[in-house]
Amino acid sequence: MNLEIPKKYKGIQNFATIAAKTIFRPVSRKYDVGEHEYPVELDLFAAGLNGMNDGSEGSLGGAATKREDVSDGQVRNGANMANCINIQAMCYGDVGLLLSIPGQGLGNSAISAVANPEQLKRFSKSWAAMAITEPNCGSDSSAITTSARKEGDFYVLNGEKIYVTSGERANAVVVWATLDKAIGKAAIKSFVVEKGTPGMEVVRLEKKMGIRASDTAAIVFTECKVPAENLLGSPDIDIKKGFGGVMETFDNTRPFVASMANGVAEAALERTKQLLEDKINLDYRTPINNVKSVEADLYRLEAEYEAARLLTLKAAWMADNRKPNSLDASICKAKAGRITNQLTLKCVDLCSSLGYSYKELIEKWARDSKILDIFEGTQQIQQLIIARRLLNKSSSELK
């Protein structure tokens, strides 16, 4: 694995960084304070972004490539790598605004992971949110109770989903529902429910600790009829495969969330060094035991950030090269989520009153960072998945 960013992505990385500095960062505080206010500055940007992405590999925060087996032996840097690089650059500006870009939803990755070719084409222009979490079902996605029953050419959905990112603004929602509660997680399928479908209602928007620019909705489904062709992947219940089909979604999205965390960590680390520049002298030739305490703290934070960033690129590279990356996706998500939360809180500490004040964005980044350790699977869930993979244990053997 080459540790350098592929040259073909330098241009789009530079574009994303410029956007982060000139579009996102200047309005970051505005939409943090004005929670649920629509960020109109993103409309023109999204239009240009969609035009730039037409015919290219991936999009910022959007769908990743499916990973069918190939045998040509070629090494690829594809959509997953491009997305991770671009997401980090955008989140250097503001992670909540990245999640608010029209057309760039986490549900798009779900569609990419399990949709058939016809569905990929049909939903290619959708802005899809993803609805998994329920009031009585948090980290254990297999325990969802939202139901889907077959009636002719439709599935009828009933249930409630909470903490749906872009749930109000997106024009479609990928909903996880079970075809048969008695069977368990093997019966869970994902459905694309388009905005305006009768029986689908956004009942509230959540007030949150962080990523306030992003709308986070609670949605209720009451006898909501969805066309049968909107069930992603196969409608058959495969007890042997179990939950594997829909869980492929997370293999795509966890490196993306890790990239969001890396972008926030990069921003906080850079700004902290700027604020402390007259008090520190970062000389990497000096042993860490012979420098100031604050300098030693910064060295350690930088090392942890670099580890998280490189683990994320590895997981993306594996996905692009059709290598099973479930373990590595969880490793990078666990590392980046935990480290970014610890790093941003330490930056608040190091910057003292400025770090805690609205004069700087450091306190905002500390608040934003917590969700990046929670959604797409909490820290505890990631560690459980990693343990199962390393010990070759099933979910029933290691709980």
Q: What is the C-alpha radius of gyration for the chain, rounded to an integer number of angstroms?
A: 21
Closest CA to 227 of 155, 300, 315, 159: 155
Closest CA to 346 of 288, 304, 289: 304
* Cα–Cα distance measured from residue 27 to residue 39, given in angstroms and rounded to the nearest whole number: 9
Closest CA to 337 of 302, 309, 374, 289: 374
> At 194, which amino acid appears?
E
Q: How far is CA 194 from the centre of its chain?
A: 21
Q: Which residue in 295, 302, 376, 397 is the catalytic one?
A: 376
The Cβ-side half-sphere exposure at 349, using a 13 Å CA radius, reads 11
Please list, in sequence order, all residues whose beta carbon lies within 8 angstroms of the beta carbon of residue 186, skipping any fewer than 6 positions away.
237, 238, 239, 241, 242, 243
Do the beta carbons of residue 204 and residue 91 sit within 8 Å? no
Give the phi and the psi of residue 6 in degrees, each rounded to 5: -55, 140
Residue 376 designated active-site: yes
Do the beta carbons of residue 110 and residue 130 sit within 8 Å? yes
* Cα–Cα distance measured from residue 76 to residue 82, given in angstroms and rounded to the nearest whole number: 11
Closest CA to 343 of 233, 261, 243, 226: 261
* Cα–Cα distance measured from residue 377 to residue 398, given in angstroms and rounded to the nearest whole number: 17
Do the beta carbons of residue 62 and residue 104 sit within 8 Å? yes
Query: How many other CB atoms sit within 10 Å of the CB of residue 248?
Result: 19
Parallel, antiparallel or unpaired: strands 172-178 and 128-131? parallel
Q: Which amino acids are annotated catalytic?
A: 376
